[in-house]
């Protein structure tokens, strides 16, 4: 265990000290919050593989206490979250979860909730109502991510919707879809696709209309398939089962279908669409104007045809290293690409803005992705979502939300047994959701906070 200390205040900023040495300086806009409960998620288990500096205190599914009130904390320490939105073109345009200068609670530099204290951006705190327990509130962050998926890929009346892989995130997506159907009076059929009978039973108990093994579902059986499996095989099956859209909600960091940048696609919430036929953009995407990047090998005739259909756009056809967008975000609004290498190159270079669109011309090959795009299937992605909506959903879901917490949370530890907690969370045969209650440091909360990290 290693001692950390936080020194400073909201107005002047903070220093984070590790073994008495300053390792990070934060600007103004943060307050000290006592951590009461923190969930372990797949990101925590895979933290050492992520492209962010270590060592670090992890944990981002945090329930805390601030000024006598129970709170949950948004994970992105952006300019907006610190009350400084006007200073950032991303935050000013509602893209604060993509702020280039953000820190991420428990993931990228900002110490997380497995310590007894965190530093939280002042505008990232959400007060919890009395009807939402601490264990229900641990689910706010992943539930918000589930709601974000529905913002991008909203179900419509009469459609058939499937959630593939209803474990932790998948169960939350089921609850979000059920609430969407009831709250917005939409009539669509909801199916849970799971290999394990106990998961199918749990999905039916929460309110899914049907549950079946994914191998028993016919091809193109669902308009939208939400893939939460985090596996290449799961995504391949989702692409086979969808007739309109696959929404990719979790990533595995592996090359899939010749693409090495699918994680970047999800992090930036970018959609990959077939360039032919009817376009099914995410609900937030608008590529009828702005600036479009065109990969160098796209034929001139294709470019001319697209220009004719999009007269309000401006175009840049160049090598990725030479492309120079002039948009306020410094990135293109969309791209027209001609192959897998071009898709990877655009994503690797960060040429398309968050929540932008990649249009793929005539994908070659006979894998699941190429076949799906040839049929007109779109690939959507999303990540962080609205905490306020997630809290409101839990409050109105009542008994269903309590059943969800009971179903998902299988093990509880305090932070003196953090190694055992992580080992249990990594064992999917025994555990579903593991939560940790930090052992709180004593003393005042204004100037110096003790914390510890898992080695």
Does one domain contain both 254 and 376?
Answer: yes
Does one domain contain both 40 and 162?
Answer: no
Give the residue carrying structure tokens 């879901």.
Answer: 397
pLDDT over 50 at 314, yes or no: yes
Query: How high is the pLDDT of residue 276?
Result: 78
Give the residue carrying structure tokens 């398309």.
Answer: 352
User: What share of the chain has pLDDT > 70, as a percent?
Assistant: 95
In a domain, 452, yes or no: no
Tell me the pLDDT band of 442, cut-offs 50, 70 and 90: low
Residue 392 exposed, middle or buried by CB count within 10 Å (0-12, 13-18, 19+): middle
Q: Are 64 and 49 in contact (CB under 8 A)?
A: no
Give the residue carrying structure tokens 């499996």.
Answer: 229
Higher pLDDT, 211 or 454: 211
pLDDT over 50 at 451, yes or no: no
Average pLDDT of the segment spanning 77-81 = 94
In a domain, 85, yes or no: yes
Query: How high is the pLDDT of residue 443?
Result: 37
Q: Which domain holds residue 370?
A: 250-381
Tell me the pLDDT band of 87, cut-offs 50, 70 and 90: confident
Tell me the pLDDT band of 441, cut-offs 50, 70 and 90: low
In a domain, 369, yes or no: yes
Query: How high is the pLDDT of residue 221?
Result: 98
Does one domain contain both 226 and 321?
Answer: no
Give the Cα-Cα-Cα angle 335, 341, 345 (nearest 5 degrees).
55
Average pLDDT of the segment spanning 10-21 = 93
- Annotate the chain with three-state secondary structure: CCCEEEEEECCCEEEEEECCEEEEEECCCEEEEEEEEEEECHHHHCHHHCCCCCCCCCCCEEEEEECCEEEEECCEECCCCCCCHHHCHHHHCCCHHHCCCCEECCCECCCCCCCCEEEEEHHHEEECCCCCCHHHHCCHHHHHHHHHHHHHCCCCCCCEEEEECCCHHHHHHHHHHHHHHHHCCCCCEEEEECCCHHHHHHHHHHCCCEEECHHHCCCCCEEEEEECCCCHHHHHHHHHHEEEEEEECCCCCCCECCECCHHHHHHCCCEEEECCCCCCCCCCCCCCCEEEEECCCCCHHHHHHHHHHCCCEEEEECCHHHCCCCCCCCCEEEEEECCHHHHHHHHHHCCEEEEEEEEECCCCCCCHHHHHHHCCCEEEECCCCCHHHHHHHHHHHCHHHHHHHHHHEEEEEEHHHHHHHHHHHCCCCCCCEEEEECCCCCCCCCCCCCECCCC
Average pLDDT of the segment spanning 434-445 = 71
User: What share of the chain has pLDDT > 90, as a percent?
Assistant: 74
In a domain, 26, yes or no: yes
Integer-rounded Cα Rg, in Å, for the chain is: 22
In a domain, 446, yes or no: no
Determine which of 31-35, 129-133, 306-310, 411-415 has the lowest per-residue pLDDT on average. Answer: 306-310
In a domain, 449, yes or no: no
Distance CA 315, CA 335 (A): 9
* CATH number of the domain where residue 59 is located: 3.90.180.10
Does one domain contain both 84 and 22?
Answer: yes
pLDDT over 50 at 181, yes or no: yes
What are 248's strand-pairing partners? 227, 381
Cβ contacts of 432 within 8 Å, gap of 6 or more: 167, 168, 407, 408, 409, 410
pLDDT over 50 at 168, yes or no: yes
Does one domain contain both 16 and 118?
Answer: yes
pLDDT tens-digit map of 233-260: 999 999 999 999 999 988 767 789 999 9
pLDDT over 50 at 449, yes or no: no
Output the six-digit token pair for 122: 């002042």
Tell me the pLDDT band of 430, cut-offs 50, 70 and 90: confident
Average pLDDT of the segment spanning 358-362 = 89
pLDDT tens-digit map of 102-111: 999 999 999 9
Output the six-digit token pair for 420: 């055992």
pLDDT over 90 at 288, yes or no: no
Does one domain contain both 222 and 290?
Answer: no
CA distances from 276 to 236, 296, 305, 352, 425 (A): 21, 19, 11, 20, 44
Does one domain contain both 125 and 142?
Answer: no
Does one domain contain both 391 and 423?
Answer: no
Query: How high is the pLDDT of residue 305?
Result: 85
Does one domain contain both 220 and 169?
Answer: yes
Size of the chain in residues: 455
Does one domain contain both 266 and 312?
Answer: yes
pLDDT over 80 at 278, yes or no: no
Of residues 26, 50, 33, 10, the one with CA closest to residue 251: 50
Query: How high is the pLDDT of residue 287?
Result: 63
Tell me the pLDDT band of 42, cut-offs 50, 70 and 90: confident
Does one domain contain both 31 and 44?
Answer: yes
Tell me the pLDDT band of 438, cut-offs 50, 70 and 90: very high
Average pLDDT of the segment spanning 82-87 = 84
Backbone angles phi, psi at 267, to 5 degrees: -60, -40
pLDDT over 50 at 290, yes or no: yes
In a domain, 210, yes or no: yes
Tell me the pLDDT band of 57, cut-offs 50, 70 and 90: very high
Query: How high is the pLDDT of residue 448?
Result: 38
pLDDT over 80 at 14, yes or no: yes
* CATH number of the domain where residue 165 is located: 3.40.50.720
Does one domain contain both 58 and 117?
Answer: yes
Query: How high is the pLDDT of residue 302?
Result: 87
Query: How high is the pLDDT of residue 18?
Result: 92
In a domain, 451, yes or no: no
Average pLDDT, the chain: 90
Of residues 281, 206, 287, 279, the one with CA closest to residue 247: 281
pLDDT tens-digit map of 134-155: 999 999 999 999 999 999 999 9
Q: Are 360 and 272 in contact (CB under 8 A)?
A: yes
Strand order through the sheet with 160-164? 210-212, 189-193, 160-164, 222-227, 242-248, 378-381, 271-274, 352-360, 332-337, 290-294, 313-317
If one counts the domains in the chain, the total is 3
């Amino acid at each position: 265990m290693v001692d950390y200390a936080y020194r400073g205040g909201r107005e002047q900023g903070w220093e984070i000290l590790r073994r008495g040495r300053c390792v990070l300086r934060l600007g103004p806009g943060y307050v000290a919050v006592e951590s009461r409960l923190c969930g372990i998620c797949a990101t925590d288990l895979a933290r050492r593989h992520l492209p962010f500096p270590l060592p670090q205190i992890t944990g981002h599914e945090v329930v805390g206490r601030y000024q006598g009130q129970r709170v949950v904390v948004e994970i992105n320490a952006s300019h907006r979250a610190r009350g400084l939105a006007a200073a950032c073109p991303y935050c000013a345009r509602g893209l604060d979860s993509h702020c280039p200068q953000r820190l991420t609670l428990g993931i990228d530099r900002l110490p997380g909730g497995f310590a007894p204290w965190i530093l939280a951006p002042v505008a990232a705190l959400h007060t919890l109502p009395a009807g939402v327990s601490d264990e229900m509130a641990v689910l706010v962050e992943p539930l918000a991510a589930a709601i974000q998926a529905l913002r991008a890929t909203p179900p419509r009346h009469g459609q058939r919707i499937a959630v593939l892989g209803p474990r932790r995130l998948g169960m939350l997506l089921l609850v979000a879809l059920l609430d969407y159907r009831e709250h917005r009076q939409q009539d669509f059929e909801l199916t849970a696709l799971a290999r394990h009978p106990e998961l199918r039973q749990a999905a039916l108990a929460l309110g899914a209309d049907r549950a079946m093994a994914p191998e028993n579902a016919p091809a193109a059986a669902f308009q939208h398939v939400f893939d939460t499996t985090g596996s290449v095989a799961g995504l391949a099956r989702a692409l086979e089962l969808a007739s309109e859209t696959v929404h990719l909600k979790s990533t595995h960091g592996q090359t899939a279908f010749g693409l090495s940048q699918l994680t970047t696609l999800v992090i930036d919430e970018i959609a990959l669409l077939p360039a032919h036929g009817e376009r099914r953009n995410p609900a937030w995407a608008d590529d009828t104007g702005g600036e479009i990047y065109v990969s160098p090998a796209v034929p001139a005739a294709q470019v001319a045809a697209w220009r004719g259909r999009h007269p309000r756009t401006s175009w840049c056809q160049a090598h990725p290293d030479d492309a120079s967008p002039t948009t306020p975000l410094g990135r293109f609004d969309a791209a027209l690409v001609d192959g897998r290498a071009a898709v990877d190159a655009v994503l690797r270079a960060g040429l398309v803005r968050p929540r932008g669109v990649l249009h793929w011309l005539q994908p070659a090959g006979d894998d699941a992705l190429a076949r799906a795009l040839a049929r007109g299937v779109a690939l959507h992605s999303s990540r962080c979502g609205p905490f306020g909506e997630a809290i409101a959903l839990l409050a109105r879901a009542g008994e269903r939300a309590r059943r969800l917490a009971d179903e998902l949370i299988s093990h509880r530890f305090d932070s003196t047994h953090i190694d055992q907690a992580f080992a249990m969370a990594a064992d999917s045969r025994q555990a579903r959701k593991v939560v940790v209650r930090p052992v709180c440091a004593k003393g005042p909360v204004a100037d110096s906070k003790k914390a510890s990290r898992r080695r």
